[in-house]
Structure 1
Amino acid sequence: MITISCAFFTLLTCVSGVTVVTQSPLITVNKGQMATLDCNLGTVTSSAAYWYKQTPGGVPQYMLYFYHSDSSPTYGSGFSAPKFTSTHSSKSDYSLIINNVDVGDSAVYYCNTYDGSVMVFGQGTKLNVIDFPLAPPVVTLLSPSTEALKESKATLVCLAEDISVALVHVSWTVDGRSVTDGVWSSATEKQQDKTFRMSSYLTINSSDWINNVDFSCQVSVGSKFTKKSISNSQCY
């Protein structure tokens, strides 16, 4: 089985020059169904798409690579057809297909390619395989403290609880515009009642809070999601 260290993997999860590898952030399917994970290699059209699987707390496992002119994928140890396969719809659009999914297939799946100078990874697709009904998480959006607002930067905290699966997707908006800079999200933590909880943080300009800019946090679990908004004016 081919594995790579977490430190090495984190280093390669990046954007190289103009090359951007794009993946869907979250997919949730029922046990026994087929999961299709899409990957766009951006400007790269003459290199294969490689796939890695990383379970929570584990190291990435090399699964397979597939090049558009090949008749079939080349597999890593422990992965084979017909459970795992790959297709392409163009020289830069690839899909990883997992048939008859089980709960153990829940993981983050990373797609990467070689752009001629370095290996470039996408941000990963979180795959949740469920055998029970999903419920929207309980989300609380906390305002920055008075002390924090005395500085030029402050932090908003989005706390998600009663999450039914281990993998979630969090998105932030500022006055309706999606933002990713200044965002950090924790891993989910399993609770005694077998649900999960996690927190996401957004660093903001204190002046934006004072000027009543609207901030929103959305936590998604499959088709179920909870969105909370907050602004300075709502706190009075």
Structure 2
Amino acid sequence: SSLPPPVLTVFPPSSAELQSNKVSLVCLSSQSVPFADVTWSAAGSPVSSGISTSTAVQQPDQTFRISSSLKSRRTKLTVTGSSLPPPVLTVFPPSSAELQSNKVSLVCLSSQSVPFADVTWSAAGSPVSSGISTSTAVQQPDQTFRISSSLEIQTSDWNTDKVYKCKVSLGSQFSEKSINKSKCPTEGQ
């Protein structure tokens, strides 16, 4: 074939994953063809389990993009770094109407991202595990992805000026943005 080889980017595990006994590596193949074959090896030996590979997505330049993830229990991993910029985050406060009820929602919008970015929330520095609803990634015209995540909280917590943080991780790279009531003077008091 006279086709050029695809361009590969491998993303290492996130810092949150490294605290557990199982991590994920992600390989993004761009400028490829739809029938390209993705395989993984560890220490020179082929890997056959824990692999999840997407279908090829056609790009405007008529090439294809494929992503493949590998879940591994190995504790020592050597991975090349990412060349993609971190996503751009915007966090929206509750609406004035919401503030009349017992619960309100904060919304974190991640743009210029990739489809497998990980979204987490924290409140006053502690991780939050409930009340979170994160959308699937939506591809944009510039071939990046947009992800939105909402966090439902008690209105009383918002009124006490507790600081909430949205964090979007992509391997070892991340973006984060904080919000609290005193930073939103235009909202209802």
Fold conserved between structures, TM > 0.5: yes
- Taking the aligned partners of 1:35 and 1:139, their CA distance within structure 2 comes to 35
- Taking the aligned partners of 2:131 and 2:120, their CA distance within structure 1 comes to 12
Alignment partner, residue 68 of structure 2: 106
Using the TM superposition, give the Cα deviation of residue 212 of structure 1 relative to its aligned residue in structure 2, in angstroms. 0.3
1:86-235 to 2 correspondences below 5 Å: 96=50, 104-107=66-69, 133-163=83-113, 165-235=114-184
Q: Is the alpha carbon distance of 1:208 and 1:180 closer, same or farther for their aligned partners in structure 2, counting shifts above 3 Å? A: same
Task: Look up the equivalent residue of 1:168 and give its one-letter code.
Answer: A
Say whether residues 1:27 and 2:25 are aligned partners.
yes
Task: Look up the equivalent residue of 1:147 and give its one-letter code.
Answer: A
Q: Is the alpha carbon distance of 1:211 and 1:196 closer, same or farther for their aligned partners in structure 2, counting shifts above 3 Å? A: same
Using the TM superposition, give the Cα deviation of residue 139 of structure 1 relative to its aligned residue in structure 2, in angstroms. 0.3
Q: Bigger CA drift: 130-139 or 176-185?
A: 130-139
Structure 1 unpaired stretches of 5+: 1-20, 37-81, 87-95, 112-128
Task: Look up the equivalent residue of 2:100 and give its one-letter code.
Answer: K
Q: Is the alpha carbon distance of 1:97 and 1:198 closer, same or farther for their aligned partners in structure 2, counting shifts above 3 Å? A: closer
CA offsets 1:18-73 (integer angstroms, 9 cap, x no match) = xxx9744x53457699577xxxxxxxxxxxxxxxxxxxxxxxxxxxxxxxxxxxxx
Alignment partner, residue 34 of structure 2: none
Using the TM superposition, give the Cα deviation of residue 158 of structure 1 relative to its aligned residue in structure 2, in angstroms. 0.2
Structure 2 unpaired stretches of 5+: 1-19, 30-37, 53-64, 74-78
Secondary structure of the 1:193 match is: coil
Alignment partner, residue 66 of structure 1: none
Q: Is the alpha carbon distance of 1:22 and 1:186 closer, same or farther for their aligned partners in structure 2, counting shifts above 3 Å? A: farther
- Taking the aligned partners of 1:224 and 1:170, their CA distance within structure 2 comes to 12
- Taking the aligned partners of 2:156 and 2:181, their CA distance within structure 1 comes to 11
Secondary structure of the 1:27 match is: strand
CA contact (8 A) 1:159 1:199 kept: yes
Task: Look up the equivalent residue of 2:68 and give its one-letter code.
Answer: S
What number of residue pairs does the alignment pair up? 140
- TM-score normalised by L of structure 1: 0.50
Secondary structure of the 1:203 match is: strand
Instruction: Report the RMSD for the aligned CA atoms in angstroms.
Output: 3.6
Using the TM superposition, give the Cα deviation of residue 175 of structure 1 relative to its aligned residue in structure 2, in angstroms. 0.4
1:45-56 to 2 correspondences below 5 Å: none
Q: Is the alpha carbon distance of 1:153 and 1:130 closer, same or farther for their aligned partners in structure 2, counting shifts above 3 Å? A: farther
Secondary structure of the 2:182 match is: helix
